[in-house]
Amino acid sequence: ISISTSKKHASLICDYFSVSNKDELIILLYNKKFIHYLYEKAMCIINTR
């Protein structure tokens, strides 16, 4: 997902939850995606052994 679409999504979510700091929310979303990505990678490594 590109940064522009993520920012659009974040804006919508911010409006929905009335979050004041959009950057904080974007960071939160990215961290969740990143953690999920690492988890998937780890699972692949474990499964291939």
pLDDT per position as a tens digit, 1-49: 455 666 676 676 656 655 566 777 778 888 888 888 888 888 888 888 7
Its pTM surpasses 0.75: no
The pLDDT value recorded for residue 30 is 83
Compute and round to an integer the Cα radius of gyration of the chain. 14
Domain housing 14: 3-48
The pLDDT value recorded for residue 18 is 56
Q: Is 2 left (phi over 0), alpha (psi -120 to 50) or beta?
A: beta
CA distances 36 to 17, 18, 21, 31, Å, are 23, 25, 23, 8
Please tell me the total count of domains within the chain. 1
